[in-house]
Amino acid sequence: MASVLVVEDDANVRTALIRELSARAHVVRSVGTAMDALREVTQAPPDVVILDLGLPDLDGAEVLKMLRGVSDVPVIIATARDDEPEIVRLLNAGADDYLIKPFSAEHLVARLSAVLRRAGRTGPTAELRVGGLLIDLDRREVTLEGQSLELTRREFDLLAYLAARPGRVVARRELLAEVWRQAYGDDQTIDVHLSWLRRKLGETAAKPRYLHTVRGVGVRLAEPASDASGGASGGADSP
């Protein structure tokens, strides 16, 4: 699990990269212009950047040069350009790897892992623990008090996202954007998945232990204060 910034102006390619990387438990942000990429790297540095060369405002080679002026973040060039002298030039200019489109998700993930290992940026631990909950991000497995839970892909993604931010109230808009990859949507979608998760965690909206709905704000996952307390929710609304 690592923080990845995808710099790609093609919406279809960007969506595909986000989907594949998120499915492997990486935290993915994306932008479509050079200026936005530079802003993201300086304000919230990722563990690695995947950089397309054909950006609308600046050529990717210039972006690489500018990135190297402000950050040592690993950069993987991902482009359709296959000119060998260009590849050599960009690697010499500071790129950590170079992928020629089209490439498979498995190829990208393997290169990404290798770059992170070389840079010593393996990202957060592959396991998340909150109370009796243990979430194995690599195996995509969850246990509660040692008992395995059968979760759907979306349930796992939702639980893992909340568990990576224990105690923090996560806004519904953020969940839609980061877990469902939607700029907007129906809150009922979140409520339904929370309801399913609660059943599997052995709790209810009225008596939460791990999943707490904060009315009008969002959702918080936290370690139970005690088994006897029932976990005060701070104002539960819909399931």
pLDDT tops 80 at residue 107: yes
What number of CA atoms fall less than 13 Å from residue 79's CA on the CB side?
22
Query: d(Cα 108, Cα 225) in Å, to the nearest integer?
Result: 42
Residue among 157, 135, 153 at smallest CA distance from 144: 135
43: pLDDT confidence band, cut at 50, 70 and 90? confident
**Is the CA virtual torsion 188, 150, 154, 165 positive or negative?**
positive
Q: Are residues 65 and 144 in the same domain?
A: no
User: What's the maximum distance between 2 C-alpha atoms anywhere in the chain?
Assistant: 67
Which of the residue ranges 12-16, 29-33, 42-46, 115-119 would you say has the lowest mean pLDDT? Answer: 115-119
**Rounded (to 5) percent helix, strand, coil in the chain:** 40, 20, 40
| Tokens (6 digits) for 210 | 């791990």
Fill in the amino acid letter for 171: A
Residue 213's domain is classified under what CATH number? 1.10.10.10
Fill in the amino acid letter for 188: Q
User: Cβ distance 57 to 33 under 8 Å?
Assistant: yes
What's residue 32's pLDDT? 92
| Tokens (6 digits) for 234 | 């701070």
What's residue 238's pLDDT? 44
Residue for token pair 């979140």: 190
Cis bond leading into 239, ω under 30°?
Answer: no
| 59 φ, ψ (degrees, to nearest 5) | -70, 145
Q: Are residues 7 and 115 in the same domain?
A: yes
pTM score of the predicted model: 0.54
- Boundary residue ending a domain (82, 97, 119): 119
User: Cβ distance 14 to 31 under 8 Å?
Assistant: no
Split into its structural domains, the chain has a count of 2
- Boundary residue ending a domain (101, 119, 137): 119
Q: Are residues 25 and 113 in the same domain?
A: yes
Residue for token pair 């990202």: 123
Query: d(Cα 209, Cα 203) in Å, to the nearest integer?
Result: 6
Q: DSSP state, 204? A: -
Query: Does residue 106 lie within any of the structural domains?
Result: yes
The residue ranking higher by pLDDT, 126 or 62, is 62
Query: Does residue 86 lie within any of the structural domains?
Result: yes
Query: d(Cα 123, Cα 48) in Å, to the nearest integer?
Result: 10
